[in-house]
Amino acid sequence: MCSRFYRTTDLKDLYGRYEIAEVIEVLGPQSNIAPQDKALIIPATAGKRIADARVFGIINPFIKEAKLMLHMRAESLAAKPNFRPYLLNHRCLVIANGFIEWERRPIPGKKAKDSHPYRFDLRNGDMMSLAGIWVDEGFAIVTTEPNSLVEKYQERMAVILRREDEAAWLDANNKDIGSLVTMLAPFPSKALINAELPKAISNSKNKSLDALIPLAA
């Protein structure tokens, strides 16, 4: 469900890609962004684009003493009145190169299953712009139904914005619910590739870029 993701592209290369005018807090490449880690986001604005570092996870605004909320369902943002203000007024783009999911495989002779991490990237090598919602100093990733590739690993997937939709998503003046909801569809499976990673990436404290090197086929 995209509780881990990564950004390997250096900050200097993001200015042109996202037409960023200013960066509030600088972060270097990140191989294993986990809950409560900071990551770069671009909040929707009516003017120049500003990238900032926010914490992955928000306090659930609807449940007292709730655990950290990492995701918001696209269906809730579209249909539930309590969630709609977040879609209208708290959108952001989460800058990533890809995300990590785990495949659960049976262990011979045991009831337990073993977890094997996989990285997911865009086939064309472009940045992966995740739809997000910011609240105070944190953010959550919007999730939707999985495509045919991701459903083998998870029952939900992060909303990956199509490049042609990024500008409209980041325009704070855009209050068109219909067009915003349309952007929250599953990304085409044929546009993604995945590869198995070393199990070392499963440790959220492992921030080595080497952990993102796929295992030999």
- Tens of pLDDT, residues 145-191: 999 999 999 999 999 999 999 999 999 999 999 999 999 999 999 99
Eight-state DSSP code of residue 109:
T
Whole-number pLDDT of residue 160: 98
The residues pairing with 118 across neighbouring beta strands, listed in sequence order, are 101, 196
Whether 102 has a pLDDT exceeding 80, the answer reads: yes
Whole-number pLDDT of residue 147: 97
Provide the token pair at 76: 């809730």
Asked whether 43 and 50 are in contact (CB, 8 A), the reply is yes
If you average pLDDT over residues 103-110, what whole number do you get? Answer: 78
Q: pTM, whole model, 2 decimals? A: 0.94
- Beta strand segments in 88-166, E: 91-96, 98-106, 113-122, 128-135, 138-144, 157-158
What's the half-sphere exposure (Cβ side, CA atoms, 13 Å) at 168?
15
Asked whether 121 and 90 are in contact (CB, 8 A), the reply is no
Whole-number pLDDT of residue 126: 97
Torsions phi, psi for 18 (to 5 deg): -110, 5
Whether 23 has a pLDDT exceeding 90, the answer reads: yes
What's the half-sphere exposure (Cβ side, CA atoms, 13 Å) at 204?
10
Eight-state DSSP code of residue 182:
H
**Could you give the percent of the chain with pLDDT greater than 90?**
86
pLDDT, tens digit, for every residue of 70-85? 999 999 998 999 999 9
Domains of the chain (ranges; CATH) run: 4-212 (3.90.1680.10)
If you average pLDDT over residues 130-134, what whole number do you get? Answer: 98
Asked whether 23 and 50 are in contact (CB, 8 A), the reply is yes
Whole-number pLDDT of residue 210: 95
Whole-number pLDDT of residue 217: 63
| Local structure of 203: helix, strand or coil | coil
Residue 2: pLDDT band by 50, 70, 90 thresholds?
A: confident
If you average pLDDT over residues 188-207, what whole number do you get? Answer: 97
Whether 120 has a pLDDT exceeding 70, the answer reads: yes
Asked whether 25 and 57 are in contact (CB, 8 A), the reply is no
Eight-state DSSP code of residue 42:
E
